[in-house]
């Protein structure tokens, strides 16, 4: 896979666009200095459907699976979603505030949505991610760092690190060493 991404005006060239209504403006424009890695699968542990996209776009049929009653009425989004096959989907401009982190804190600063970019990996805490996902995540991260230079290697974190006790993703299955070494 020889994917190349470029960020232009907040949009990633090479990503499929699926615009979510779940975003707003950042309180301080240009204040983008954190990258947060998440995971999601809907229904939990099931892959390859379009329910994640529907959920982020407020179009999920909440009656189609019993688990969905737990998330009925929730309005969330991420900037980007990397499917198991490596397909990249963008929901929100990187320049806007996606609703991915919730109550969160990084280095003494709360409300991480205000200054972060959120990337969701299609997966679970305990199931290995795919080679394609790591490859796309690496190239994507480098493009994001080029466009937003305040996102250093030290300012890339997991959802579990900014919302400990509340969130566990990307989970023990995520290979931080593999990911970080691919960025050098």
Options 3.40.50.720, 3.40.80.10, 3.40.50.970, 1.10.3720.10; CATH of 6-181? 3.40.80.10
**pLDDT at site 28:** 83
Token pair for 14: 């090479």
- Average pLDDT over the chain, rounded to whole? 96
pLDDT in the model for residue 130: 98
User: What's the confidence (pLDDT) of residue 163?
Assistant: 97
DSSP-assigned beta bridge partners for residue 105? 110
pTM (2 d.p.):
0.97
Would you state the pLDDT for residue 30? 79
Which pLDDT value is given to residue 3?
72
What per-residue confidence (pLDDT) applies to 35? 98
pLDDT value of residue 184: 77
Distance CA 12, CA 2 (A): 16
**Catalytic: which of 53, 70, 120, 154?**
120
Q: Note the pLDDT tens digit of each residue in 118-173.
A: 999 999 999 999 999 999 999 999 999 999 999 999 999 999 999 999 999 999 99
Residue 120 known to be catalytic: yes
The pLDDT value recorded for residue 106 is 98
Rg (CA), the chain: 15
Tens digits of residue pLDDT in 71-113: 999 999 999 999 999 999 999 999 999 999 999 999 999 999 9
**How many whole angstroms separate alpha carbon 112 and alpha carbon 99?**
10
| H or E element in which residue 140 lies | helix 131-147
């Amino acid at each position: 896979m020889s994917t190349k991404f470029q960020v232009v005006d907040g949009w990633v060239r090479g990503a499929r666009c699926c615009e979510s209504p779940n975003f707003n403006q950042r309180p301080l424009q240009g204040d983008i200095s954190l990258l947060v890695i998440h995971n999601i699968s809907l229904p939990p542990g099931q892959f390859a459907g379009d329910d994640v996209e529907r959920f982020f776009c407020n179009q999920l049929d909440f009656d189609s699976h019993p688990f969905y009653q737990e998330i009925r009425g929730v309005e969330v989004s991420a900037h980007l979603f990397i499917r198991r096959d490596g397909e990249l989907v963008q929901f929100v401009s990187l320049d806007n505030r996606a609703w991915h982190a919730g109550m969160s804190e990084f280095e003494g600063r709360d409300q991480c949505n205000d200054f972060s970019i959120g990337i969701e990996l299609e997966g679970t805490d305990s199931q290995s991610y795919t080679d394609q996902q790591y490859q796309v995540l690496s190239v994507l991260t480098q493009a994001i760092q080029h466009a937003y230079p305040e996102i250093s290697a030290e300012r890339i974190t997991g959802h579990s690190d900014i919302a400990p006790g509340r969130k566990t993703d990307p989970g023990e299955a995520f290979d931080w060493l593999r990911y970080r070494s691919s960025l050098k």
